[in-house]
Amino acid sequence: MYKIADEEIIPRRWYNIVPDLPEPLSPPRDHDPEKSSIDLLNKILPKEILRQEFTSSRYEDIPDEVIEQYLQIGRPTPLVRAVNLERILGFRGKIFFKNEGATATGSHKINTALPQAYYARKEGVEEVVTETGAGQWGTATALAATLNNIRSTIFMVRVSYEQKPLRKKIIKLYGGNTYASPSNLTEYGRKVLAKDPGHPGTLGIAISEAVQYALEKGYKYMMGSVENTVITHQSIIGQETRRQLEFMGESADTLIGCVGGGSNFSGFSFPFVESETEMIATAASEVPKFSKGDYKYDLIDTAGIMPELKMFSLGSDFVPPSIYAGGLRYHGAAPALSLLIREGRIKTEEVTEEKSMEAMGIFARTQGIVPAPESSHAIATVIDYCKNPENQGKTVVFNLSGHGLLDLSIIRD
């Protein structure tokens, strides 16, 4: 039914980096000593997801049904050599990209949405709730929920809700419900709106609303990024990339990806962590979490309902500019990724919106694929890297975390 190569490339286990980190990962910390965050997580997460969040085993078996669904939504995704881009840059080396935009929902987010919805369904959950920034995570949640016969409610950051009307439509088509956040649906949303009725919203606020809503209704919460479980599920990207490179007789000198909460970059790069491969994580200059943020315990969400995590953060009340790359507006980054950046194992870059838009155009005109605004940040780093005389001859692999076909409203006439 499927090409044999597909079956050979899809891994049967997710990789969890926790046991391979240079020091033990600092655990989540209670924000309010009166309220245990573990009790909260127990209420809002499926049991299996909570177990995976705290496990220190290196591998987790992927259930057969999830493998089947991965095949259905387009995994393994292609690893493509960007020959036209190499030519136009005059690069004397090789550029490959892992095309996560080739999945059914158009980004890597479906890689964790499917198992989270699967475990929720196994535990008898009727509805899942989440937040979304750019809309990619909301789209993936809606499809994963529908494929598992459960309902979904999605709090979408208001600025994206208004900038990206097509996202609402695809979520609706997949059977999900969206609300602009801050909303009147939750106590926290009403509080934010009372202070500022025109608040553009942030991911931190939308997470608070989703968690509050799930708690109130007895539904389960789906995590889009930042948490270990998500990064473990996303390891499918890097594991496939390794196998595809092996099949092609290639090996990566440098890996490049963009960072919002850290899930696509970590999933792509962590399976290479034990090698010598150079790794570069690109954030948005407008959200300078690595250059201007602190490495500290900070809140995941703005209301402080969720526990605190040790990570690079600009503060959970940071209100980022309304950049197009909604998925890069998050104030923090995954703890394991933050630790490896602090240790110097992973380097960082920052790219302005202007540069990312230029890169989007170059990639579209050379490779024919319209990259997501988030992924365009990674491409801008790739272009700079390949123009540097010191990097000639290298093999650069980057993660094209999503396509931008539903983001075209941002292109000026």
Ligand X SMILES: Cc1ncc(COP(=O)(O)O)c(C=O)c1O
Binding footprint of ligand X on the chain (CB under 6 A): 107, 133-134, 136-137, 225, 258-265, 327-328, 372, 374-375, 401-402
403 pairs with which residues across the strands?
371
Q: Which residues contact 4 (CB under 8 A, 6 or more apart)?
A: none
Least distance to ligand X from the beta carbon of 311, Å? 12
Nearest residue to ligand X by CB is: 327
Give Cβ neighbours of residue 210 (< 8 Å, ≥ 6 apart).
129, 130, 131, 153, 154, 155, 221
150/128 Cα distance (integer angstroms): 7
> Least CB distance from residue 166 to ligand X, whole Å?
14
Considering Cα of 212, then 214, then 220, then 222, what sign does the dihedral take? negative
Q: Find the shortest distance in angstroms from Cβ 103 to ligand X.
A: 10
Q: How far is the CB of 326 from ligand X (least distance, A)?
A: 7
* Shortest CB 124 distance to ligand X, Å: 28
Minimum CB distance to ligand X smaller for 302 or for 356: 356
Q: Which residues pair with 127 in a beta bridge?
A: 151
CA 31 from chain centre, in angstroms, equals 24
For the bound state, the minimum distance from the C-beta of residue 18 to ligand X, rounded and expressed in Å, comes to: 18
Nearer to ligand X, 28 or 261 (CB): 261
Nearer to ligand X, 91 or 283 (CB): 283
CA dist., res. 30 & res. 46, Å (int)? 20
Least spacing, CB of residue 298 vs ligand X, in Å: 16
Compare residues 156 and 214 and give the one whose CB is closer to ligand X: 156
C-alpha to C-alpha distance for 291 and 259, rounded to whole angstroms = 13
**Closer to ligand X by Cβ: residue 136 or 302:** 136
CB of 235 to ligand X, least distance (A): 13
Three-state DSSP at 351 gives strand
Looking at the Cβ atoms of 86 and 230, the one nearer to ligand X is: 230
H or E segment at 67?
helix 64-72
Check if the beta carbon of residue 9 is closer than 8 Å to that of residue 288: no
* Amino acid making up residue 251: S
Residue keyed to tokens 């209704």:
217
Give the span between the Cα atoms of 110 and 106, in whole angstroms.
9
Which residue type does 88 have?
Answer: I
Judged by beta carbon, residue 76 or residue 261, the one nearer ligand X is: 261
Cis upstream peptide for 33 (omega within 30°): no
Place of tokens 């292609």: 78
Residue whose CB is less far from ligand X, 16 or 375:
375
Paired with 71 in beta bridges are: none
Nearer to ligand X, 355 or 394 (CB): 355
Q: What is the 8-class DSSP label of residue 399?
A: E
What is residue 247's three-state secondary structure?
helix
CB of 9 to ligand X, least distance (A): 21
